A and B are shown apart, each in its own frame.
Chain A
Amino acid sequence: MGSLVADIDGLFLFSPSASVYERFDDIGVTRVVIAAENGVEADAFVELPLGFENVRDRIRFGVEGAMERGFVAEGDVIVCSLSMFGDDADSLVRVRVDESMRSGIYDLFIDSRAEPGVVRDVFEVAIDLGKKGQKGKPVGALFVVGDAGKVMNKSRPLSYNPFEKSHVHVGDPIVNVMLKEFSRLDGAFVVSDSGKIVSAYRYLEPSAEGVDIPKGLGARHMAGGAITRDTNAIAIVLSESDGMVRAFKGGDLILEIDPEEY
């Protein structure tokens, strides 16, 4: 048992309570807190934008964030304390930090053109839409977030834009309902860097050359993946057929979330 925590270089606490955090005050290795907010005033802190239900995603996000901020380096061995079933930390995971851990999840949220809060809000809208569907029926949706000017120039309207001259932002209380109603229409939603919904009903016209997304995903995913290669935007796609939320950046599939788990 002791070998699990022997010779470690870092301890990653996922959403620890203050008492848990203080218990490791004199541990002598880097102590990193990964949580939605820094409630314990930790020096090394990585903000968790979504409470990833998938533990692998959560650890990847934490490790990538810690590497990005220089809390840990390649080759370090760390132990993650996190909760898998309940609310309290119930599992220990020993991880070796290396470059292959970089899946781009942290980069997707933090280093995208759009603000991190906007990316999170769009994810939440997509997850919410995936959970409830539209009037009980599963819906698909495609959100292109950030670099809106270029995206607008690489797309054309399918019909009148319901968001023209409006000033709604994702995260506004009314928006979830609006997006839910508009999601039955075809085409993509375009969201600007600051979260303003620029347009709905956009037909994306990127060049799909060299876009490598898993086979079996449909035209919506292909269009979403391709536009992120042509522009600096990211695409968040809700699949109509399997109900998964997928995020693309730079033409690659970065993250896959099952809305039912949230």
Chain B
Amino acid sequence: MQGGTVRAVLSAVPLRFWLAVATLALGVVLGWMVRIVTGRLLRRAGVPSATEGTTFERTAREFGTSTVAILAVIAGYFIFGIAVFAAIAVAEIEYVAQFWNAVAGFLPQLFLAVVVVIVGVVLGDKVELVVSERFRGVKLPQANVLPLMAKYSVFYLAALIALGQVGVATGALIVLLAAYVFALVFLGGLAFRQLLSAGAVGAYLLLHQPYTIGDEIRVGEIRGIVQEMDLFVTHVEADGEEYVLPNSRVFADGFARVRS
């Protein structure tokens, strides 16, 4: 009697419903595995040490988690979400499917957007740290602007990509970005022109060392003993005066080694 009712209930539930439940269960297992594997992969790739000290990581720590854990959880939920939609599709629940289909198409993009935002925030923080580390020796208050600029540039790019992912119109922002990049490249090229050409020549000079420390050379009007050479400049000393010549000048004027 009892067994009969259970069998009746079981047979009353259509097969596709059972399939849907199985899909859901598989999704949970897969999601869990993806979460663990992602965490391991990220840890193996050295992400924890790379995110060390960034604001995002610190905030995550305050909530008792970490950047790696958050990314892994998101990846896990992404897989689980797909499983949910698969289950709905399998169960052929018509009206629900109609509504959720649109969402299902949107989900991967949303997932990517979230990941891009997180990566962008972490990367921006990291860039700020690295740049400010570089400028630590320079005790100049204005130098603080550079790390901030680098940070917000990365943030801006990340936001742009994320917004593009979820389909927000970003035309105006892209124009702004283009203007910014153009200004950076054009003005940077203009400002660093001398350094770049000196550096290019310096690379040749350091590789081949046509003259070295201790040689007497003549560059244009200047004649003296080479005291120091690096990527950008050559120090030439003559009669108590030390000339600091940009390497580009050594090439432009040509140089003569004085053999005594």
Contact = CB atoms under 8 A, between A and B. Distances in A.
B213 A194 contact: no
Interface stretch (B10-18, B93-101, B123-131, B225-233): B225-233
Given A192-B227, A193-B227, A194-B230, A149 B209 contact: no
Interface string A190-216: 001110101100000000000000000
A152 B213 contact: yes
B52 interface: no
B225 A198 contact: no
Interface of A: 147-153, 164-165, 167, 192-194, 196, 198-199
Query: Which of A147, A149, A153, A194 is most buried by chain B, counting CB atoms within 10 A of its CB?
Result: A149
Given A149-B225, A193-B227, 19 more contacts: A148-B213, A149-B213, A149-B227, A149-B228, A149-B237, A150-B225, A150-B237, A151-B214, A152-B213, A153-B214, A153-B216, A165-B212, A192-B228, A193-B228, A193-B235, A194-B228, A198-B213, A198-B214, A199-B214
A170 B209 CA distance: 20
B213 A153 contact: no
Most buried by B among A153, A165, A192, A198: A192
B206 interface: yes
9 contacts: A148-B213, A148-B214, A148-B228, A149-B237, A167-B206, A192-B227, A193-B227, A194-B228, A196-B228
A165 B209 contact: yes
B228 A153 contact: no
Interface in B42-96: none
A165 B206 CA distance: 8
Task: Determine the main DSSP class of A at the interface with B.
Answer: mixed
Interface string B188-208: 000000000000000000100
A165 B211 CA distance: 10
B219 to A, nearest CB: 14
A192 B214 CA distance: 10
Contacts of B225: 149-150, 153
Nearest to B206: A167
A149 B230 contact: no
Contacts of B230: 194
B259 to A, nearest CB: 12
Contacts of B206: 167
A32 to B, nearest CB: 20
A165 B209 CA distance: 7
Contacts of B226: 149
Contacts of B212: 164-165, 198
B260 to A, nearest CB: 9
A148 B227 contact: yes
Interface string B105-126: 0000000000000000000000
A193 B237 CA distance: 13
A194 B237 CA distance: 15
Nearest to A113: B227
A151 B213 CA distance: 10
